[in-house]
Every structure is written in structure tokens, then in C-alpha cells.
Structure 1
Amino acid sequence: MSVTSAKHSIATPVSLSQRLVVAIGGSLLGLCLVYFAGFSHLEAVHNAAHDTRHSAAFPCH
């Protein structure tokens, strides 16, 4: 016997300032990750991201 229930989703409006905060925060996180992986002197980090960086034309040497 299976019981199914209808789920109703209600869209809540998101303000422009909230969207900007999320976009800027995500961009800063992404830049930090790219900077860390791109310029890290840790050999393990370098080797883990090496092929991806070269395929994206990101210099690492």
C-alpha cells in the first residue's frame, strides 16, 4: 500500500539585494579557489589541478 501526498511549492520572492549578495559571495569564493589552486606551492594541490589548469590555458609554471 503506497501513500502519495501532493506537495505544494510556494515561490518566495527574492530581492535584488539578496541575489547580489549570493552572486558576489559565490564569485569571491570561486576566485579564492582558482587563486589557491592556480598559485599554490603545495605539490598535492598542484598535481590535483594540473591538467585542468592547462586545459583551461591557466598558467601554473
Structure 2
Amino acid sequence: MSENSPVKNVKVLKKSLINLSLTIVYPPNGFHFHILSNVTPKIIAIFGDFIRRYEDKSLNLRW
């Protein structure tokens, strides 16, 4: 890994990646959405804008 890498220890990186959870919700109205949980600052530093796709958008849906 480079000197600028946020994670120097591969075991810590592996543990962080294993703890990530992606949940896809399919409500009855047919509009599905993704929820990514257990995101740490280290994961955000590694994946950057890709992770931002899955952050909370606070949709006010009722079903």
C-alpha cells in the first residue's frame, strides 16, 4: 500500500470490509432502494465518492 493509504494493516481493512452490509429494500410500490451500513471513516477514505451513492438520502416514503 502507498504511504498515503488510510489503512496500513491488511487485517484491519479486511475486518472493515467484511462488516459492510448492503440491504436492498423492495416495498410494495415497486420503488426499491439500497442501504449500506457499518461504514467506517476508513472505508469512506478508501472508496470516496463511490460510497456516497449509498449514503442516507432521507426519503420520506410511506408504505
Q: Which has the higher strand share?
A: 2
Bigger relative contact order, structure 1 or 2 (CA pairs below 8 A, ≥6 apart): 2
Q: TM-score, normalised by structure 2?
A: 0.23
Task: Report the structure number with the largest CA radius of gyration.
Answer: 1
With structure 1 as the length reference, what TM-score do the two structures score?
0.23
